[in-house]
Amino acid sequence: MQKIRLEITGIAYSQTQSGSYVLTLSESAGKRKLPIVIGGFEAQSIAVELEKMVPNRPLTHDLIKMLCKSYSISVKEILIYKFFEGVFYAKIICEKDGVLTEIDSRTSDAIAVGVRFNAPIFALSEVVEEAGGVDDGSEDYDDEVELNESEESSGEMEHLNEEELQNMLSDAIDNEDYELASKIRDALKNRN
């Protein structure tokens, strides 16, 4: 079966499932995308790694990475191999001493671990054909909501000086409010 390489192109609030997020994976060499509903903790864990934030204490997926590294296990790839009754199924493909092992995992956890190893994400072509959509250039409602909230937060931070923003960023990270920390970091970047 053919594997299709995917890239993470967005994480946004789900408008259909309260407390959930939509992780959007897009075809690296195409226009199809795969929206996957994930929990808040997993969304936070993926976002923290993508944004290169350093939490006070290791998150669960950081702990998994440390355990793997301690035992010389590397994560080679993430494979989304099945879509059944609205649920995606994934495997973490690991390697130790030249031996490959496939570990069954929730897709969100597999991706959260995979991003920590810079492992490529793949889906079988049949999964993308069944569950994927074509990116026609229009924005999803979820993406639009995330953008508007970001713009609103950035507007509130415009009157603060850089030192105040840095202090807010430190407080947000200390309180493990990574969503706010991400917005503050964006506000700081926009000033440079």
pTM of the model: 0.72
Whole-number Å distance between alpha carbons of 28 and 104: 24
Whether residues 129 and 165 share a domain: the answer is no
* φ, ψ at 111 (rounded to 5°): -70, -40
Mean pLDDT of the chain: 84
Whether residues 82 and 162 share a domain: the answer is no
Whether residues 36 and 114 share a domain: the answer is yes
| 99-131: pLDDT as tens digits | 999 999 999 999 999 999 999 999 999 999 998
Average pLDDT over residues 133-149: 46
Beta-ladder partners of 93: 77, 102
Whether residues 14 and 91 share a domain: the answer is yes
Whether residues 84 and 166 share a domain: the answer is no
Domain that holds residue 69: 3-134
Whether residues 57 and 98 share a domain: the answer is yes
